[in-house]
Structure 1
Amino acid sequence: MNSTIFLLFLIIFNLFALWLLAIIIGDKIDRRLVHESDRLKSTIEISGDSLVFISATEIMEPDFKDSTEHPFLLRIYNTRSDLIYESLNHNYFSRLETEIPDSLSKSILLSTESEGSTYRLMLDTINDRNGNVRAVLQLAVFESDIDETREEFLRMNLLVLPFFILLIFILSIFLAKRTYRPLEQIILVAASISASNIKNRVSYDAEPEDILGRLRDTINDLFERLDLQINQISQFTDNASHQLMNPLTAVKSELEYILKKRELPPQQLETIAMVAAQTDKMIEIIRSLLIISRSHKNLITSKAVVSFSKVLNDYIKTSYPGLKFAVENDIYIKGTEEYVRIVAENLIENAIKYSHNDSGGVKVTLIKKGLFAELSVADNGMGIPDSDKEHIFERFYRSKDAEKMGIRGFGLGLSLVKTIVTLAGGTITIEDNKPSGSVFVARFPVIILGD
């Protein structure tokens, strides 16, 4: 936009300069005509009815004799408009015809065109001592100076203007990049903001009252408020979970005691067992919420390194004896054993739920690929529709297919996995398992011991 305005300004400036040059050159020609007229009249003497040149030197100058670079045509007319004198170079002005006004009382300047040539004329009176007009002096020059200057100026513009346009284009790109650099930084910082990375701020040099300075301060204030809100939500979740966990744990203990004593009728024991199962589910939900609310604090501040290979290998052997798995040795990542088990448990349990033959259709693999540890959990179930893949890691999200099939869950497991993987600096994706099923792939940055 700025470059377009500047280019338009440049064109207007060129047109103005061309117009101004024409005026300046025209004024210069007029001053030459006036000067020559005054000089010639000073050499003419009126004697009776005759005009006498006191000195022939003036009218014999090259500009009045030949076709010089700037020749003059001199003509003198009597009061009856009869031509009584014409300069020797009149052949070069043969196309010029002039009508002498009947009553000319003062000098006039005018432009005229004749057969393709443009002339600048001056008509001036030659007066006697009494002020009576005795003759009319005509001076004429070609206006080619103006035309040539205009053409030269246009030629120069045709040569120079493309370079100006190129220069403007380059400057526009440079200025645009410089102008948008703060906006790019805002985009990068905003893209990096998450619940676990809310401390980043926009920083670039700008005065507080400047528009970019105000934008920077406004964005940073927004991030400050987000940071405060996230901390408040996390604190509330932590406190609420604690407050709920204590009575639920007490209820669970009492229910387990009653079930162990078995002093009540079978029907009541069955009801209590159902309540105990629901209590376990509530405790599991609260436990997940506690981990989510605390995980970003623990993972960010923790410098612990865990053997991914050993923890995963031991956990699968203990919890899922018949599960097919392949674990590469000596893979270490940032984190704790608890978080590794949470990730493995939720991914494996999720795969078993959706497999056609329970754990027999599930395969777990841990390998090292470059600088990342890649954990993949594959199942041979019904797969996940593309529409669900976009939301599968959201808290409390449950697919319609899972609800139709009666598969139990709260929609927290995969959200918890996503939180832990992300806070550990990794990523998690979903792929289709051919011919059926899904593959969850979690990638963690590898820690090289000794670095």
Structure 2
Amino acid sequence: MKRLFGSVRSRATLAATLVVAVALVAAGTAVLLSLRSNLIDQAGTAADRSARTVATHLAGGKTYEHLSLDDDDQPVQVVDERGRLVAATEDLERISGTGTDAVRPHAPTPTPTDGSGDEDADDAHDDASLEAGKIEEKTVFTDGSATIDQHSADYRFAAVRVETEKQGTLTVYAGAPLSAEQSAVRTALTVMLIGFPLLLAVVAVVTWLVTRRALHPVEGIRSEMAAITASEDLARRVPVPDTHDEVARLARTTNETLAALETSVERQRRFVADASHELRSPIASLRTQLEVGAAHPELLDVAGAVEDTVRLQRLATDLLLLARLDAGERPAAGSRLDLAALAREEAEGRTGVRVEAPEAVPVAGSRGQLERVLTNLLDNARRHARSTVTVTVRREGEWAVAGVADDGDGVPDGDRERIFERFVRLDDARSRDDGGAGLGLAIARDVAVRHGGTLTVRKAPEGGALFELRLPVP
């Protein structure tokens, strides 16, 4: 069960089916209640009409025995003010829900006569029919049942009061059958019980197919990612569907992530290979000198061994800093310093270096890392300068700008980005001792980027190279 509903397709199908089911139940309930209410109101209207017809006859002066109450479908009762049944529908066998459950009228009290005979009785009847009574506007409705000529049914009863001159206050109960309402409700309920499951099945199947089609590209992405993981081939890419929806954006983002990961892994491999190569030379040189010194102490080159050790230490420090930068290390927030003062400190004691920093320029970041940037730029410029290195520090809007220019040969246009790659040395003929390992500019750019800035190179006014460091002003 857990596995069955563990997929997005299953959960979407279940959710859609449940939502439609709740909506159908709510709508079906509302329809049934509305239908039942309307049909009951219609039955009440029919019962009220029948009761008022009888009440009109009574108000017009008709006596009980002259009422026509022989409708087999509508039971009628006439009750006097003492609660006695004085008239009822013929063949009425049982009734409930009215003022009385009696079905046989109470014998009427004989009308006093003065011996004038039938002619006088007819005259009295004619006089009574001219008398007018009063019918109340209010109708009271109740529900009940009745049996007429051995046929039982439920009814909607209407009770109407009428005041007469000779017979007093009477209450007329008339019923209208609820069979139409019950039949309609049963039919509608049957249709719903049969139709709703079929409709829910259609919704579930359609949702399953639609979600399957919508998620098919996602399955393609997943399977390709699984294949990439198994093969460890980061050059592969996931298929991008020919749509403009979230799945297509997911595929494009996944490919961008794979490309960045491939670049990072390739960079890491190249870094390890270059680091191994760079470390091999000073270690081999140092080992050779120590082995020679062990065999022939008088031939030990102590100065050369110390130089190789220092070089090895610097290389190890550079590699450690690069590893920390690659791990995402960022400068501590809130640390502020003066870039102009820092440039003057780094240039102090260096021959041929001129600093132009007329005012303080604040920046935020790691003092040690920014010192390392300026040191690397000054070392690089001094290595290639003919005579002079110029350092300028200024503020341009929201940026602090430090420029290091030399009067050397400059950097060719095609190499202005390549020199920031690790272990890259443009002058392959120069010695490793003079040229370094090719990590200085790479470290300088990585530190600038970690501080939210940039490091670029262009042609200096003196004709050499101008390295420009830009950092945001806090």
Output the TM-score relative to the length of structure 2: 0.40
| Higher-RCO chain (CA-CA 8 Å, sequence separation at least 6) | 2
Output the TM-score relative to the length of structure 1: 0.42
